[in-house]
């Protein structure tokens, strides 16, 4: 509860800052301070210290897993604001409002990591999405940004409609919005759930798959990520996407308890096969299309679809290893993507040619960029390696579908190709990569971030130990 309320309050404070604080440059410092207090408030919640005593009538359930994910999301946002907060001031005069919207997104993230009632799921998804539509269209003079925002809004509204339909059907089947009652209904029925619930669950899955951009519901992703201002793409592709996965996992746990995973056949739907198909489609579309991109920004959009394919493994296997894995994956993927986008924002040309010869002009930038790309590709000694390792290990632990692991490894190999194209352009090609002015503090930030990625890559238990204590 701490994180939900404190983030909403900070959103309001940032709104007031926009007309009370005249110095535009100080917004991001205020926001960073706010994120720090938010992080502290959330950690207090983990330790059992509640700032607010609210009877939520079992609408929210604060598990250790969800709260820990909150900390990861808030920390990633803090890193994001510190590294790229300055860029936000370029788009219109509403810098403080952008921070407001980011705080509201974090409020949605905290709701999604704790929901225990499908009404809260709906509200959480909406609080998460609506600020994003606005951030996507914040570059008002740019036609591409406008198009992306409209596309995102229309498609998002449609998928929300499907979600509501699914929730309504599940309500029709069970007579309640509570997740545990849905579970209990599945157990009481023993073998077969009512068809209404299965249909409702399928609808919910479709709309959640849309939110995390799993194929074949990914069509909005490249256009929106490409059209949105680069700073906000970075936020959308990291914190928001990971939050979508956390919400999805909670929903899948309902499925697991209902069906026990083993009685899929009596249930009528083979969920594991369904997810296996979803994963393969997502990996295929993401990786193969990314290979053919000419713009690094668009390549990263497709690569984010491919990464979503890997995160879907957690939903496929749904065991302890998968839950640990999704936390490590969120950290590894968020940090690396925030880093690479921070570099991308500074580039003048977003094509692969634009990176030619960057290593000679900006060696620190190129080196940091290389580490981020290696982490995204999943090379050992970076955080990305253990993220992928946990995901695949969780599938092996389920004891079946080993062929899925082999396919995933093959696609990971494909992904190395397009990530290395950037590294090749930076180090082995001659050219005049033009960047905007790079400040020493930005360089220091990148170096620290790369160090963090390598640290997590060497000791992934660093992330997980906090989860248990």
Partner 1 sequence: MDIIHILFWCLSALALFAAIMVLVSKNPVHSVLWLIVVFFAISGHYILLNAQFLAIVNLIVYAGAIMVLFLFVIMLMNLNAEADPQKNSWMKIIGVVTGGLLLTMLVSAARSSSDIASKTATLKVGDIGLIQNLGKTLFTDYAVPFEISSVLFLSAMVGAVVIGKKD
Question: Which residues lie near partner 1 (CB under 8 A)?
Answer: 4, 8, 11-12, 15, 54, 56-57, 59-60, 92-94, 97-98, 100-101, 104, 107-108, 111, 117, 119-120, 123, 126-127, 130-131, 133-134, 137-138, 140, 169, 172-173, 194-196, 198-199, 202
Q: For partner 1, which is the closer residue by CB, 56 or 89?
A: 56
Which tokens in the block code for residue 139? 């570059």
- The minimum distance between CB 430 and partner 1, in angstroms, equals 41
- The minimum distance between CB 172 and partner 1, in angstroms, equals 7
Which tokens in the block code for residue 63? 């598990």
Q: For partner 1, which is the closer residue by CB, 197 or 324?
A: 197
Q: For partner 1, which is the closer residue by CB, 134 or 364?
A: 134
Q: For partner 1, which is the closer residue by CB, 132 or 412?
A: 132
Return d(Cα 247, Cα 179) in angstroms, integer. Answer: 12
Return d(Cα 26, Cα 192) in angstroms, integer. Answer: 59
Q: For partner 1, which is the closer residue by CB, 175 or 363?
A: 175
Return d(Cα 160, Cα 384) in angstroms, integer. Answer: 32
- The minimum distance between CB 130 and partner 1, in angstroms, equals 5
- The minimum distance between CB 296 and partner 1, in angstroms, equals 28
Return d(Cα 88, Cα 422) in angstroms, integer. Answer: 25
- The minimum distance between CB 265 and partner 1, in angstroms, equals 18
- The minimum distance between CB 161 and partner 1, in angstroms, equals 13
Return d(Cα 430, Cα 188) in angstroms, integer. Answer: 68
Contact 67, 46 (CB under 8 A): yes
Q: For partner 1, which is the closer residue by CB, 205 or 418?
A: 205
Contact 278, 312 (CB under 8 A): yes
400: DSSP letter: S
Tracing tokens 């924002």 back to the chain, one arrives at 345
435: DSSP letter: B
Calculate the CA 447 to chain-centre distance: 23
Nearest to 358 by CA among 439, 425, 415, 287: 425
Which tokens in the block code for residue 425? 């352009």
Helix axes 241-259, 64-84, angle to 10 degrees: 170
Return d(Cα 261, Cα 157) in angstroms, integer. Answer: 32
Q: For partner 1, which is the closer residue by CB, 33 or 195?
A: 195
Q: For partner 1, which is the closer residue by CB, 191 or 465?
A: 191
Rg (CA), the chain: 21
- The minimum distance between CB 128 and partner 1, in angstroms, equals 10
- The minimum distance between CB 12 and partner 1, in angstroms, equals 7
Three-point CA angle 80, 86, 87, nearest 5° = 90
Nearest to 439 by CA among 364, 353, 370, 371: 364
Q: For partner 1, which is the closer residue by CB, 195 or 428?
A: 195
- The minimum distance between CB 316 and partner 1, in angstroms, equals 23
Tracing tokens 């606005």 back to the chain, one arrives at 134
401: DSSP letter: -
- The minimum distance between CB 195 and partner 1, in angstroms, equals 4
């Amino acid at each position: 509860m701490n994180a939900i309320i404190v983030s909403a309050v900070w959103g309001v404070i940032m709104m007031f800052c926009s007309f009370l604080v005249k110095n535009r440059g100080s917004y991001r410092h205020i926001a960073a301070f706010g994120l720090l207090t938010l992080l502290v408030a959330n950690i207090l919640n983990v330790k059992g210290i509640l700032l607010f005593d609210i009877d939520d009538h079992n609408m929210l359930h604060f598990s250790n897993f969800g709260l820990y994910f909150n900390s990861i999301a808030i920390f990633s946002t803090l890193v994001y604001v510190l590294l790229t907060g300055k860029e936000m001031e370029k788009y219109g005069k509403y810098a403080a409002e952008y921070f407001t919207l980011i705080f509201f997104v974090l409020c949605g993230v905290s709701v999604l990591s704790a929901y225990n009632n499908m009404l809260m799921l709906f509200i959480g998804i909406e609080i998460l999405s609506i600020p994003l539509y606005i951030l996507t269209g914040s570059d008002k003079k740019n036609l591409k940004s406008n198009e992306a925002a409209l596309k995102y809004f229309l498609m998002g509204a449609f998928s929300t409609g499907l979600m509501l339909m699914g929730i309504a059907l599940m309500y029709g089947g069970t007579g309640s919005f509570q997740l545990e009652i849905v579970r209990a209904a599945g157990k009481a029925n023993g073998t077969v759930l009512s068809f209404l619930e299965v249909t409702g669950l399928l609808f919910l899955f479709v709309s959640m798959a849309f939110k995390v951009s799993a194929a074949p519901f990914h069509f909005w992703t490249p256009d929106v990520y490409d059209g949105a201002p680069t700073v906000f793409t970075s936020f959308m592709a990291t914190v928001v996407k990971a939050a979508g996965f956390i919400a999805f996992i909670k929903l899948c746990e309902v499925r697991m308890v209902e069906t026990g995973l083993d009685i899929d056949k009596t249930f009528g739907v083979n969920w594991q096969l369904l997810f296996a198909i979803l994963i393969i489609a997502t990996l295929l579309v993401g990786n193969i299309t990314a290979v053919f991109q000419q713009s690094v920004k668009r390549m990263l959009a497709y690569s984010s679809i491919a990464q979503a394919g890997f995160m879907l493994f957690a939903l496929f296997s749904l065991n302890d290893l998968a839950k640990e894995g999704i936390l490590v994956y969120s950290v590894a993927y968020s940090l690396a993507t925030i880093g690479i986008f921070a570099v991308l924002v500074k580039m003048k040309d977003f094509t692969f040619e634009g990176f030619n010869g960057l290593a000679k002009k900006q060696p620190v930038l190129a080196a940091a960029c290389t580490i981020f790309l290696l982490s995204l590709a999943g090379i050992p000694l970076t955080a990305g390696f253990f993220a992928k390792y946990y995901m695949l290990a969780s599938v092996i632990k389920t004891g079946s579908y080993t062929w899925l692991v082999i396919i995933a490894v093959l696609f990971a190999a494909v992904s190395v190709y397009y990530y290395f194209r950037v590294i090749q352009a930076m180090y082995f090609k001659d050219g005049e990569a033009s960047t905007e002015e790079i400040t020493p503090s930005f360089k220091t930030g990148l170096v620290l971030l790369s160090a963090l990625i390598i640290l997590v890559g060497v000791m992934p238990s660093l992330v997980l130990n906090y989860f248990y204590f």
